[in-house]
Amino acid sequence: MDDPLPPPDGIPPDVWNTWPLAAHVLITTLVQQVAVLTTRVLDLEQRLAQTSQNSSKPPSSDPPSAPPRPANTPRGRPRGGQPDHPGATRERREPDAIVPLHPTACPQCATTLAPTLPDATPPQTTQVWELPPITPHVTDYVQHTVCCPTCAARVTAALPPESRTGYGPRVTALVGHLHGTYHLSYRAIGDLLADVADLPIGLGSVATSTQRVSQALAPLDAAIHTAVQTAAVVNIDETSWREAGQRRWLWAATTDQVTSFRITTSRGRAGLDTLLPATFDGIVGSDRWNAYNRYPAAHRQLCWAHLTRTIRALAEGGMRDSPWARDLLTHVESMFTAWHAFRDGAATRAGLQTAMQPIQSAIRTAVEDGRTRTWYKVTALRQELLTWRDALWTFVTHPGVEPTNNAAERVLRPAVIWRKQCFGAQSADGSRFVERILSVVTTCRQQGRNVWNLLTDAVRASMTGQPAPTLLPTP
């Protein structure tokens, strides 16, 4: 009877045909198992070789054996301020006091110098900044009670709206600022205020103050959220969060002027709905997480930084198809060189588009060449690039769009540090505070606004029933 099983590689057919069918089945099974285990070993070795440069792992997880990270000056610029950098100097303010200083003796001959001698050169002024002793301003509100002469009812004078909580708007806003912006614990806030401002405050009052700040920021947060949903370009990203020990997801959507945060129970489309609706008609910059696939390719910009790490992992994989990834990586590096020239003002938009034409053509050719590759990771990446090819080059033609999702990752970084310090929120109200304070503080930073003053105005408006201040961008 003819044997239906072909001989494995390395076994001559004439030898193979002399063996019984049972041996054929056994050897074929063993060969298949070896192939599966070999692939698994290679995958595990590649997983062990993952670093922050070829995966989404953070730099803090890199082992000592990881290759050194690229220098911070990839384009050959020296460290520090660049020749055309305007610099940052302390502003000069009107002094509260002026202290004239006159020389008293000559250091050369020890002659005594009278203060009435005329100046040989214009005097120089050195401005010194110092904090005055910080003490709380304590006010006693004495509420008198009188009898109404008409109906004999007892009437007690009402407290001013800003004084009904025991702490004024500036103290309340400062507590929320210290907790939500500088990530101090409740106990550390109490210690700081006691040490620096001689202001005693208990843990319960700190917790109550943060919730008052949260309530005051609710209308500002809602307005920021609406502005994000109607923006022309939005970068979006997500990271894990904790609420009372349960897994949550913190989403961030940022534009050039506002940023909105939301904490949800889902990392999928249900979670994304709370931040950006499926009907959003602007351009979304993001990584390749499948929740973002709801937006059409023509309205997306895939993050080339994430793609670069994926391609680098394939290039370092040591497989037969790794040279294909290395060639593709060379074209990607050329793409970033052209983008940096445009971003730094060395090229116009038209110059960027001209420089990108051969690079786009080379990458398309490389992707087409990938159809002959057999490594499943290469075929998966190639299929993804083909599916979303229209989302790769949006930054070339659309102003305000960048080739990476760094904008969203940057606004999430403080939240990630906060999560590592406090392990998340302990209640739903705590999560709302996190959303609102992150949205307002990040937006203030983007607009160059003073955070504490804005928080104070919001708290005062909330206490007195006045309209909240606005953080909406100016048209």
Decide: helix, strand or coil at residue 347: coil
Do 385 and 392 touch, CB atoms closer than 8 A? yes
Average pLDDT, the chain: 88
Q: What is the DSSP letter of 158?
A: P
pLDDT of residue 69: 64
What are the pLDDT digits (tens) for 232-264?
999 999 999 999 889 999 999 999 999 999 999
pTM over the 0.85 mark: no
Q: Which pLDDT score, from 0 to 100, does residue 397 have? A: 92
The one-letter amino acid at 60 = S
For residue 51, what pLDDT is reported? Answer: 72
Looking only at the bridges linking them, the beta strands covering 246-254 and 233-243 are antiparallel
Question: What are the residue ranges of helices labelled H in 198-264?
Answer: 203-229
Residue with tokens 């990881």: 66
Q: What is the pLDDT of residue 61?
A: 65
180: buried, middle or exposed (CB in 10 Å: 19+, 13-18, 0-12)? buried
DSSP code of 115? T
User: Tell me, what's the pLDDT at 175?
Assistant: 95
| pLDDT of the residue at 1 | 44
The rounded percent of the chain whose pLDDT value lies above 90 is 58
Which one-letter DSSP state was computed for residue 241? E
Q: What are the DSSP calls for 268-329, one per residue?
A: SHHHHHTTS-TT--SEEEE-S-GGGGGS-GGGEEE-HHHHHHHHHHHHTS-STTHHHHHHHH
Q: How far is CA 378 from CA 40, 120, 323, 326, 387, in A?
A: 16, 77, 11, 12, 14
Torsion angle defined by CA atoms of residues 307, 335, 259 and 228, in that order, rounded to the nearest 10 degrees: -90
Spans of the chain below 70 pLDDT: 1-4, 45, 52-66, 69-77, 474-475
For the record, the structure tokens of 447 come out as 């607009």
For residue 173, what pLDDT is reported? 95
In sequence order, the 6+-apart residues with CB closer than 8 A to the CB of 282 are 230, 231, 232, 233, 234, 299
For residue 391, the SS3 value is helix
Q: pLDDT tens, 198-219?
A: 999 999 999 999 999 999 999 9
